[in-house]
């Protein structure tokens, strides 16, 4: 069984401020972890993913996330928010190996204040 918890359904930051979106997961097997972004009226787009190896993962648009096994966390960060970052962000977990279902969190809407 696996699950994802995203803390905060809405997060507001000022333009230029640090973005921190929180994600905690549970998984009975070594996890694969993902962050996706969704802009209005569009599908989801992959930002970054962790499978194995380096625990700090860099993604597109300046985002990065760190896999912390001891904390079962995979928080998403960006040093300086841009207006174009306003969107909904989804954390997802999957078990490693084949035929593993992907479970998504409930999403966090990021608002960037000019």
Partner 1 sequence: KAGVTQTPRYLIKTRGQQVTLSCSPISGHRSVSWYQQTPGQGLQFLFEYFSETQRNKGNFPGRFSGRQFSNSRSEMNVSTLELGDSALYLCASSSMAGGDTQYFGPGTRLTVL
Q: Which residues bind partner 1 (CB under 8 A)?
A: 32, 34, 36, 41-46, 49, 90, 94-107
The nearest distance, CB 75 to partner 1, in angstroms, is 19
Q: Which is nearer to partner 1, 101 or 114 (CB)?
A: 101
Per-residue buried b or exposed e for 75-92, using 16+ beta carbons within 10 Å of the residue's own CB: bbebeebeeebbbbbbbb
Closest distance of CB 111 from partner 1, Å:
16
Tell me whether residue 53 or residue 114 sits nearer to partner 1 (CB atom). Answer: 53
The two beta strands, 10-14 and 108-113, are parallel
What is the Cα–Cα distance from 86 to 82, expressed in whole angstroms? 8
Q: How far is the CB of 101 from partner 1 (least distance, A)?
A: 4
């Amino acid at each position: 069984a696996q699950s994802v918890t995203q803390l905060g359904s809405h997060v507001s930051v000022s333009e230029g401020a640090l973005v921190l979106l929180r994600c905690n997961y549970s998984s009975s097997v070594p996890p694969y972890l993902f962050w996706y972004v969704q802009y209005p009226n569009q599908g989801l787009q992959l930002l970054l993913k962790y499978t194995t190896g380096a625990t700090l993962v860099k993604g597109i648009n300046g985002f990065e996330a760190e896999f912390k096994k001891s904390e079962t966390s995979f928080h998403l960060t960006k040093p300086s928010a841009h207006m174009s970052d306003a969107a909904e962000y989804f954390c997802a977990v999957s078990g490693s190996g084949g035929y593993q279902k992907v479970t998504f969190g409930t999403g966090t809407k990021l608002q960037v204040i000019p």
